[in-house]
Structure 1
Amino acid sequence: MPSLRLDQRIVAVKPIVVPAPGRGMDLRVKVTAPQSGRDLPVIVFSHGNAWSMDGYEPLVDRWAAAGFVVVQPTHLDSRRNGITWDDPRFATIWRVRIADLHAVLDHLGDILLQAGDLENRVDRGRVAVVGHSWGAQTAGTLLGARVLDAEGTPGEDFSHPAVSAGALIAATGTGDTLTPFAAEHLPFMRPDFSTMTAPALVVAGGRDQSQLSTRGPEWFTDAYHLSPAPKSLLTIAEGEHTLGGLAGETVTDTTDEDPARVALVAEAISAYLGDALKLDGAAWAALNDAVAAAGDGTWSVTSK
């Protein structure tokens, strides 16, 4: 399969404070970018529960080396903020997460200016959102997915006009099979993908057995199966929830550590976004050819 250039020099700038009135805590972001190049596309990345802008370097560094500018906010649920399940603020964090991504997009020019000369080196017409786990649900709302209330009525439209495409890694599925714990603490985990019209790659692990749902790993493919085209699904047969260790090379809660699996996720998303953002479809075509040639079932790509 194609490999990203890892010899490209990259630079990271943090923290950059983004205006977010009423949030209660400063919204801080990290920007990672290639040191050279112009007309660079942008990825806004939403981390999983408890993580921060300082995680996911195995993904972010590869994307920056491939020519993307990556902006990572730290959401309120980051463990560094100490907001637990029982904190009264936790019930509304899902909304604050979405507002965080909107704030980043609405102030993208200023963020890029504070990160150096990036304001003049990016292509503001090519912006994608990517997220992992809870971050995938957050990113999905900017692609058009909505959250159902207790009666099954779709909530607000949180899509953002600046977003052209996205990728959802280990995105939680529909809310009809939530465990009692999830139903009590995470009632917002009821996505409606029927309105998620933007192009997106869904990445799912074949061994991702969540404690939040009574369904098996197929729960994490709902974002693909229940959303309208154009969509693609990357399924990694032996992948668990961190798909080899996406959040970091020394993360202790990774139970399926596999650097090659992490590289596959990073390269697939880079290739897909290159095609979806109309930059260069060669890497995505090559990846599809590679899976067809391999034919060993370790990973597969389906599109509609």
Structure 2
Amino acid sequence: MDMKIARVALSATLVAITLSGCGAAVSASTATPAAAVTAAPTRTFPVGVRTLTLDRGADRPLPTTIWYPAGSGRLGQPPVPALPMAPGRFPLVLFSHGLHSLPEYHVHMASRWAAAGFVVAAPAYPRTNRRTKHFSRADVRNQPADARLVIQRIGVLDTRPGDLFAGHLAMDRIAAAGHSAGGYTTAGLFGPDHSARFRAGVIISGGGMSGSSFGGPPAALLYVHGDKDPTVPLRRGRAAFDRTPWPKAFLTLAGQNHGAFLAPGRTGFTETMAATTDFLRWRLYGDEAARERLVASVSRSGRTTLETRL
């Protein structure tokens, strides 16, 4: 489940992010406040970023990067620290990285989701991130509990007077997403005891957590997988899909490997962003038009297939 994204392509663009998949690059007004967001946004937001120092005990640090819709700034620019939140309440997406990876390797995807109207929180897991001195593949089993702790701590900020996020988080509308080992972590969040607040999951190049099963309140899951993945074979993702008892869809990327398609400009990136964004809009905002758009947006290029039971 190792992270196989071409890091050269990722690191070269970390400081030059474009949000072309989310709208045109034009200036956002800093003088006139935007209307509060109560339904699926019809515009693209500038993106702010903050980091939180969290932990689940002294031996499980969970530094967390959060990208969010900002109320000022310029569209299409790299995320800016400490920008004010855009007016309104925004759903939360918890993103989990893969083995030997870091949240910042996924800034391209997270930034686009934030620009589309989601707060995206990505912890660096203590035993599987690229910088850890105590790497353990087996520790993936402990990561769903880490993720739940991060969600809980972020939720507290919604009620903390004066915090950047106070009054801006829709904590009744949560999704989980992840790549590779983070996809397995995501699947582990949808066990029999999961909260009804978890409405959606996006499992990218991953599968079901060993020894656990899906259960609890219904949620919808979207699987995204390259059919030439040498690290987590397509059949593992399909096996998890087959076991999923709720509304579900499976996006297959023809000719794609474990994660190169998560880098801007690579084949499959545009389709992945369109599918995941529309899926999240449908599940977290109740945007039925996004569900209808989902099939058309991923099949137009001929490079993807979508099996849907949504």
Q: TM-score, normalised by structure 1?
A: 0.74
Unaligned runs of 5+ in 2: 1-19, 26-44, 71-85
1:101 aligned onto 2:101: no
Could you say which residue in structure 1 is the equivalent of 2:307?
302
1:203 to 216, 224, 242: 224
Q: Are the structure 2 counterparts of residues 279 and 49 from structure 1 closer, same or farther at C-alpha, using a change threshold of 3 Å?
A: same
Q: Distance in 1 between matches of 2:266 and 2:301?
A: 21
**Amino acid aligned to 1:98:** P
1:190 aligned onto 2:210: yes
1:18 aligned onto 2:38: no
Could you say which residue in structure 2 is the equivalent of 1:184?
none
SS of 1:79's equivalent in the other structure is: coil
Residue 111 of structure 1: how far off its partner (Å): 4.9
Could you say which residue in structure 2 is the equivalent of 1:159?
194
Q: Are the structure 2 counterparts of residues 10 and 4 from structure 1 closer, same or farther at C-alpha, using a change threshold of 3 Å?
A: same
Q: TM-score, normalised by structure 2?
A: 0.73
1:238 aligned onto 2:255: yes
Q: Distance in 2 between matches of 1:6 and 1:220?
A: 34
Query: Relative to structure 2, which stretch is displaced further, 48-57 or 258-267?
Result: 258-267
The 5-angstrom pairing of residues 257-272 of structure 1 reads 258-272=265-279
Task: Report if aligned partners of 1:137, 1:191 keep a CA contact under 8 Å in 2.
Answer: no
Task: Report if aligned partners of 1:41, 1:69 keep a CA contact under 8 Å in 2.
Answer: yes
Q: Are the structure 2 counterparts of residues 116 and 287 from structure 1 closer, same or farther at C-alpha, using a change threshold of 3 Å?
A: same
Q: Distance in 2 between matches of 1:40 and 1:268?
A: 19
Q: Are the structure 2 counterparts of residues 209 and 95 from structure 1 closer, same or farther at C-alpha, using a change threshold of 3 Å?
A: closer
Could you say which residue in structure 2 is the equivalent of 1:56?
106
Could you say which residue in structure 1 is the equivalent of 2:184?
137
Query: Relative to structure 2, which stretch is displaced further, 194-203 or 124-133?
Result: 194-203
1:72 aligned onto 2:122: yes
Q: Percent identity?
A: 24
Could you say which residue in structure 2 is the equivalent of 1:169?
204
Q: Are the structure 2 counterparts of residues 264 and 289 from structure 1 closer, same or farther at C-alpha, using a change threshold of 3 Å?
A: closer
Task: Report if aligned partners of 1:59, 1:262 keep a CA contact under 8 Å in 2.
Answer: no
Could you say which residue in structure 2 is the equivalent of 1:229?
246
Q: Are the structure 2 counterparts of residues 162 and 193 from structure 1 closer, same or farther at C-alpha, using a change threshold of 3 Å?
A: same
Residue 143 of structure 1: how far off its partner (Å): 1.6
Number of residues paired by the alignment?
A: 253
The 5-angstrom pairing of residues 113-124 of structure 1 reads 116-124=163-171
RMSD of equivalent CA atoms: 2.7
Unaligned runs of 5+ in 1: 145-156, 174-188, 250-257
Q: Distance in 1 between matches of 2:253 and 2:161?
A: 38
Q: Distance in 1 between matches of 2:222 and 2:146?
A: 22
Q: Distance in 2 between matches of 1:269 and 1:126?
A: 16
Could you say which residue in structure 2 is the equivalent of 1:282?
289
Q: Are the structure 2 counterparts of residues 81 and 105 from structure 1 closer, same or farther at C-alpha, using a change threshold of 3 Å?
A: same
Residue 62 of structure 1: how far off its partner (Å): 0.5
1:83 to 113, 129, 134: 134
Could you say which residue in structure 1 is the equivalent of 2:175?
128
Could you say which residue in structure 1 is the equivalent of 2:46?
9
**Amino acid aligned to 2:221:** A
Task: Report if aligned partners of 1:109, 1:119 keep a CA contact under 8 Å in 2.
Answer: no
Residue 226 of structure 1: how far off its partner (Å): 2.0
Write the deviation string for residues 7-57 of structure 1: whole angstroms up to 9, x where unpaired: 43101112x112412x51422101100102412111010101111222201
**Amino acid aligned to 1:300:** T
Task: Report if aligned partners of 1:20, 1:103 keep a CA contact under 8 Å in 2.
Answer: yes
